[in-house]
Amino acid sequence: MIGEKTEATSGRIRSVAAELFAEKGYSETSLREIAERLGITKAALYYHYPSKEQLLQAIVQPFFDDIRILVGHAERELPGGASLRSFFEAYLDMLLRHRAVCALFLRDASSIVAIVPLYKEALDLTRRLNSSIAGPEATDEQRLRTAAAFEVLGVALLTSSWLPDIPDDTVRKTLLDAAVRVLDTDDDAAGRRKP
């Protein structure tokens, strides 16, 4: 019972902190402001998260857990012929699920500095993902097209602030179609998987 209450409080802290980071920016938000919005003491907040960096890390951790799973899937299964479109669907769904957290990094570069080790891991995961999707025999053009397809899917992270009136199902279908088209070439060179 106490563990459930502690986890519920930790979840509320993460939720409110994410809102404040999105509103004001990571560097402009203090732990005192987070505690005040929650109606708890700063000491109670420190009990759960001893620093703002640890709080931010707890907020973004689920995103990194999901991206690790997707990279592992791409490295293990896509070379065997799994559907690239299905993989892109899973990747895009993951981005949409974590859109608020990812948008924080797009709006506030100081938040990236606060989690440098995770950010470096994200860069490595992105390289591995691109490499897995492009395939082991990919040409330079195919590698560039793969990177461009992921950038197309990444537009999902901007839709809540740039195009908030577009429904998620439209965002999903449009970006999936566009990403697959980016990969589609007239000459199906060796090593390239069909979407």
Domains in the chain, CATH or no CATH each: 1-50 (1.10.10.60), 54-195 (1.10.357)
Q: What is the pLDDT of residue 188?
A: 44
The three-state secondary structure class of 131 is helix
Dist. CA 97–CA 157, nearest whole Å? 10
Side-chain-side CA neighbours of 159 within 13 Å: the count stands at 21
Q: What is the pLDDT of residue 187?
A: 47
Q: What is the pLDDT of residue 36?
A: 96
Q: Is 128 within 8 Å of 72 (Cβ atoms)?
A: no
- The 8-class DSSP code of residue 155 comes to G
Q: Which segments of the chain have a pLDDT < 50? A: 187-195
Q: Is 18 within 8 Å of 9 (Cβ atoms)?
A: no
pLDDT tens for residues 78-130? Answer: 655 558 888 999 999 999 998 888 777 777 777 777 777 887 888 899 999 99
- The 8-class DSSP code of residue 136 comes to T
102 to each of 49, 78, 186, how far by Cα in Å? Answer: 21, 25, 34
Q: What is the pLDDT of residue 81?
A: 52
